[in-house]
């Protein structure tokens, strides 16, 4: 279903290069609940971001149902963190030493745009995202926040045509996560656990194939964190594939499978 193969990721910090992932290969099967653990700075979130298309590796490839997510290595570009600024992936050595760009098969600009467009579509329709700090828009109420992913990527006509059905699904999801009576509340009127429940409903509104959760309990007290984790387990029992980064080993062992990273490598 999803396979990250030989992933290498190096960050650029000023004039220094920091290798974070060093040849990681991971396969996620449909319906699995997989946790990713490891020490702080060990590459957990980076691996999740690469697998979900939020970040771009210098080397390696991610396959979703055998479809490549990223451009070929020789023409791949890595965002540097500044608006519109990129660096060629082939110019960054995985060991942290710059190297000359390597030759690769020519890929036309339209093909590159096609791959990028496909990756963007995957992030919007195939993947759902839950983060530690919720990222809810404070000026929108709960229902409006949940509807946002369904609005992205649609024309005004498509949105209006499907609005009633989408709103019905959003209401059902909020009822499912225990917030059916909080639809018109704004984020600042909710507790931390309630905000995370809104974020989970938002992540599910497009019926994603995979739910990616990056430290979803990390900003919560232990009891609330356990409630959120139990909600994720309930979703998984209903068939939702989940990949979760967590520093909590007690929670990680309750997943179907745990992937442990040490210094950017799989601990096997």
What CATH number corresponds to the domain at position 60?
3.40.50.300
User: How confident is the model at residue 109, as a pLDDT?
Assistant: 61
User: How confident is the model at residue 268, as a pLDDT?
Assistant: 63
Domain that holds residue 94: 2-266
Instruction: Return per-residue pLDDT of the chain as tens, 268 residues.
Output: 899 999 999 988 777 889 999 999 999 999 999 999 999 889 999 999 999 999 999 999 999 999 999 999 888 877 665 555 666 665 664 444 444 333 444 566 668 888 888 999 999 889 999 999 999 999 999 999 999 999 887 788 888 888 899 999 999 999 999 999 999 999 999 999 999 999 999 999 999 999 999 999 999 999 999 999 999 999 999 999 999 999 998 999 999 999 999 999 998 6
H-run or E-run covering 192: helix 192-204
Quickly count: other Cβ atoms within 10 Å of residue 35's Cβ: 23
pTM metric for this prediction: 0.88
Quickly count: other Cβ atoms within 10 Å of residue 7's Cβ: 26
H-run or E-run covering 119: helix 109-121
- C-alpha 101/C-alpha 109 separation (Å) is 18
Partners of 5 in beta bridges: 61
Number of domains in the chain: 1
H-run or E-run covering 123: none
Backbone φ, ψ for residue 190 (5° rounding) = -115, 155
- C-alpha 83/C-alpha 49 separation (Å) is 19
User: How confident is the model at residue 98, as a pLDDT?
Assistant: 44
């Amino acid at each position: 279903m999803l396979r990250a193969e030989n992933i290498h990721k190096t960050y650029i910090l000023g004039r220094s290069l920091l290798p974070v992932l060093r040849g990681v290969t991971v396969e996620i099967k449909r319906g699995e609940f997989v946790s990713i653990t490891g020490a702080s700075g060990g590459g957990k979130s980076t691996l999740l971001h690469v697998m979900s298309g939020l970040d771009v590796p210098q080397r390696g490839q991610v396959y979703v149902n055998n479809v490549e997510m990223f451009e070929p290595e020789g023409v791949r570009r890595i965002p540097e963190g500044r608006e519109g600024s990129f660096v060629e992936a082939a110019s960054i050595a995985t060991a942290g030493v710059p190297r000359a760009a390597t030759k690769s098969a020519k890929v036309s600009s339209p093909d590159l745009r096609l791959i990028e467009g496909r990756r963007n579509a995957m992030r919007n329709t195939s993947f759902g995202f839950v983060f530690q700090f919720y990222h809810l828009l404070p000026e929108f109420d709960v229902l409006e926040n949940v509807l946002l992913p369904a609005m992205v990527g649609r024309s005004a006509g498509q949105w209006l045509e499907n609005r009633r059905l989408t709103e019905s699904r959003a209401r059902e999801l909020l009822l499912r996560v225990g917030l059916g009576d909080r639809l018109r509340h704004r984020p600042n009127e909710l507790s931390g656990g309630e905000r995370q429940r809104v974020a989970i409903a938002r992540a599910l509104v497009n019926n994603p194939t995979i739910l990616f959760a990056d430290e979803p309990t990390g900003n919560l007290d232990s009891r609330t964190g356990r409630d959120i984790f139990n909600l994720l387990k309930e979703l998984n029992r209903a068939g939702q594939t989940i990949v979760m980064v967590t520093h909590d080993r007690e929670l990680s062992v309750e997943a179907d499978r745990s992937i442990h990273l040490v210094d950017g490598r799989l601990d096997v």
